[in-house]
Structure 1
Amino acid sequence: MKFADIPGLADLKARLIDSVKQNHIAHAQLFLGKPGALNLPLALAYATYLHCENKGEHDCCGTCAACSKNLKYIHPDTSFVFPFRSIPKSEEADQVKAETLKLWRSFLLNQPFDDLTGWINQYEGEDKPASISVETSREIIRTLSLKSFESKYKIMLIWQPELMHPSAANGILKILEEPPANTFFLLVSNAAERLLPTVLSRTQLVQVPLLTDDEIENYLDQKLSVSQDRRSEIVQLADGNLNQAIKLTSSEDDHYADKFADWMRSCFKRDYGKLVAFADDFHDLDKLNQRNLFLYGLGLMRETLLHHSGAEGISRAKSGELKFVKDFSKVMNVDKIASVNSLISGAHYNLERNGSAKMIFLDLSLQIANVLNPN
């Protein structure tokens, strides 16, 4: 991974590069971000830059021997620790670990912006909890006790350290605080509150924000050639999460804006026949598109509130979406917006708990009709 492969985050990239140029590299850094933040790609690009033999002004060279290995995640002086299922005694541990490392490299190459769920699906471990075992902490210490093979630096990248067994986390405290010379820990986390305070106190925080709407939209346009109307819908749903945005591009090309607008008009008109037909159509959607329609609706409630309150300057709505929001905000007030938002949130909650999609949608439609047009 190179810095150039990561959209946005220009200031953060510059700060990391400058730390290397000035030789002010913290021995243990915590790349912290909300789910969907690009903290893992950023840590990978940072590791590549550290090993690069011909560092550029703004990125690694990408062509030296070190870069060639790093871009395939096979550099001998970069070690990876990541959550995995427990290995029963009936399996050959060394063979499982070797196969898992191949899967990990494939995961990073093919799905560089994916999350823990994507990794678990990669090794087909959906029915088994993923964690970082006590034995892994011993392997960390053994690995870092060896001299570097090729590079000036040794790097230990720990992804999802919040999933470390408490004994494993305690087992690396000493080496985390006082690693061998030119050895660096890069911890990549989405939940600092689940880390041991003793781990937090030994790391320097690198806060990684979610991408802006413009950065998401530019990526969808330039890298994936997504149409403008579809980009607007995806940006609303992704809310700064590039991984979510990419997955939405491969889902059914559903026009949530049109569906939601027709649904709200039918609720306002109390067109019960059409609402029943909508419920049937909703039932036929897959779970992802059912969830996304509700999430899109919640986003539109936000936009409606902004326009109703005269705060259009921070609105995300564009093109056809914007026209609907402007018209919808004329018949809404703050109480109605809050009520509809609460109803959609409750329906989303019930849907996630495997309630009947048709019943949830029809009940929601009738309740929204009462809010929009109580007479």
Structure 2
Amino acid sequence: MRFSAIPGHTGIKQTLLSAVQRNHVAHAQLFVGPEGSATLPLALAYLTYLNCENPSGIDSCGECPSCVKMDKYIHPDLHFVMPVSSTKQVTGKDVVSQSFLKEWREFLVESPYGSVEDWAFAYGGENKQVNISREESRQIIRNLSLKAFEGRYKAMLIWLPEYMHPSAANGILKILEEPPERTVFILVTQDTEKLLTTILSRTQKVQVPGFSDEEVAQILETEYEATDTQARQVAHLAEGNLSAARKLLSQVEDDSHALFRDWMRLCYVWDFTKLVTWSDDYQKMSKASQRTVLQYGINLLRESLMSSAGVEDLIRLFGEEVEFVKNFGKVLDADKIAGMYEVLNRMLYYLERNASPKIQMMNLSMKLARILRG
């Protein structure tokens, strides 16, 4: 990852570059930003620059042996820790970051702005609770006890340290405060309130804001081949969260609006036979598509709530969606929309915990029908 691959954030980039150029590299840094922000890409670009053999004033060279290895995330002096869980293949004491490095490297290439849910889905642990175990802290100490193999710096990147078990967090306090020479800790978090104060006090904070709508649109067009219209529509809805933007883009491409609209019509007219067929079809969808339909509906209902509250200037909808929300408002008051919003969120919760999609969808449809017709 290079700085040039990350849109915007000029001031943060310059601060990081200047620290390296002035040899003022803090040994423990905490990159803080919301889900879908550039915290992880910026951290990776910074570490790439640290060990680049021919850096310029604005970026790593991208061509030296160190940069080539960093680009593939296989540099021997770069270590990763991230939240994981057991899978069918990995259980017991093997449930540590080292066991998932292949999947992690692929995730960094394909989804550097991804969420923890995206990561769990990538390695096959989407139905499990992720964490960073006590054993990880032992591995951190072992890995950093070795001298650097090739680079000027050894680096330990801990993604989402808020998932650390308290014993793991306490286990790294000493090495975090007094790391070996030329060792850099980079912690990337979305929630500082869940971190131990002893970790916060030992790290230098780098605050990273979410993306602007223009930056999200640029990334969607250049990296995900979205059309100009799709990119602008999704960027407006994503509110700076690139992880959410990718999901919303798939909703636009999969025509989630038509699916949700037709489903609501079936619920409204209470066509039981067709709702059973709809539940059967829903069961046959991929898990990602099942989530997408629900997430789209949740987004649309949230916009409907704002419309019913009379704050149209905050609504982030386009085309047919605007008309749909207006028509929704004619038959539903704010309380009913809020009720639908709640049951859709609950369905998403159950779905992510491996409940039967067909049964849950039929139950949900009946609840929605009662609200719509009540």
Partner of 2:139: 136
1:136-175 paired onto structure 2 within 5 Å: 136-143=139-146, 146=147, 149-151=150-152, 153-164=153-164, 166-175=166-175
The farther-off stretch of 99-108 and 166-175 is 99-108
Q: 1:327 to 1:227 in 2, by over 3 A?
A: farther
CA offset at residue 248 of structure 1? 6.9
User: Retained in 2: the 8 A contact 1:230–1:255?
Assistant: no
CA offset at residue 296 of structure 1? 0.9
The CA distance in 1 between the partners of 2:119 and 2:31, in whole Å, is: 19
Partner of 2:279: 279
1:22-171 paired onto structure 2 within 5 Å: 23-82=23-82, 104-114=104-114, 131-132=132-133, 133=135, 134-143=137-146, 146=147, 149-151=150-152, 153-164=153-164, 166-171=166-171
User: Retained in 1: the 8 A contact 2:53–2:64?
Assistant: yes
The CA distance in 2 between the partners of 1:276 and 1:84, in whole Å, is: 37
The CA distance in 2 between the partners of 1:307 and 1:13, in whole Å, is: 39
Partner of 2:316: 316
Matched residues, number: 367
Partner of 2:16: 16
The CA distance in 2 between the partners of 1:141 and 1:214, in whole Å, is: 40
Partner of 2:259: 259
The CA distance in 2 between the partners of 1:139 and 1:285, in whole Å, is: 45
User: Retained in 2: the 8 A contact 1:29–1:203?
Assistant: yes
The farther-off stretch of 296-305 and 221-230 is 221-230
CA offset at residue 136 of structure 1? 1.2
Q: 1:267 to 1:9 in 2, by over 3 A?
A: farther
CA offset at residue 204 of structure 1? 1.7
User: Retained in 2: the 8 A contact 1:236–1:299?
Assistant: no
Q: 1:157 to 1:246 in 2, by over 3 A?
A: same
Q: 1:199 to 1:259 in 2, by over 3 A?
A: same
The CA distance in 2 between the partners of 1:354 and 1:148, in whole Å, is: 44
The CA distance in 1 between the partners of 2:168 and 2:318, in whole Å, is: 49
Is the aligned partner of 1:296 residue 2:296?
Answer: yes
The CA distance in 2 between the partners of 1:207 and 1:175, in whole Å, is: 23
CA offset at residue 137 of structure 1? 3.6
CA offset at residue 357 of structure 1? 3.1
TM-score by length of 1: 0.77
The CA distance in 2 between the partners of 1:89 and 1:324, in whole Å, is: 50
Q: 1:6 to 1:337 in 2, by over 3 A?
A: same
CA offset at residue 257 of structure 1? 0.6
Q: 1:252 to 1:323 in 2, by over 3 A?
A: closer
The CA distance in 2 between the partners of 1:239 and 1:285, in whole Å, is: 28
Q: 1:315 to 1:13 in 2, by over 3 A?
A: farther
Partner of 2:199: 199
Q: 1:363 to 1:198 in 2, by over 3 A?
A: same
The residue type equivalent to 2:139 in the other structure is T
| Percent of pairs with identical residues | 43
The CA distance in 2 between the partners of 1:123 and 1:270, in whole Å, is: 40
SS in 2 for 1:301: helix
Partner of 1:328: 328
CA offset at residue 324 of structure 1? 1.9
User: Retained in 2: the 8 A contact 1:233–1:257?
Assistant: no
The CA distance in 2 between the partners of 1:291 and 1:357, in whole Å, is: 10
The residue type equivalent to 1:12 in the other structure is I
The residue type equivalent to 1:139 in the other structure is R
The residue type equivalent to 1:135 in the other structure is R
The CA distance in 2 between the partners of 1:82 and 1:55, in whole Å, is: 28
Q: For 1:249-296, what per-residue CA distance to the aligned partner results, in whole angstroms no more than 9, with x for missing partners? A: 679953111122223334344445544443343333233222221211
Where structure 1 has 5 or more consecutive residues not aligned to the other structure, the ranges are none
The CA distance in 2 between the partners of 1:280 and 1:125, in whole Å, is: 25
The residue type equivalent to 2:49 in the other structure is Y
The farther-off stretch of 162-171 and 320-329 is 162-171
The residue type equivalent to 1:195 in the other structure is L
CA offset at residue 3 of structure 1? 1.7
Larger radius of gyration: 1
The CA distance in 2 between the partners of 1:361 and 1:66, in whole Å, is: 51
Partner of 2:218: 218
The CA distance in 2 between the partners of 1:287 and 1:164, in whole Å, is: 28
SS in 1 for 2:179: coil
CA offset at residue 45 of structure 1? 0.6
The CA distance in 2 between the partners of 1:221 and 1:353, in whole Å, is: 33
The CA distance in 2 between the partners of 1:217 and 1:104, in whole Å, is: 26
SS in 2 for 1:310: coil
The CA distance in 1 between the partners of 2:347 and 2:125, in whole Å, is: 29
CA offset at residue 43 of structure 1? 0.8
CA-based RMSD: 4.1
User: Retained in 2: the 8 A contact 1:282–1:290?
Assistant: yes
The residue type equivalent to 2:138 in the other structure is E
SS in 2 for 1:71: helix
Where structure 2 has 5 or more consecutive residues not aligned to the other structure, the ranges are none
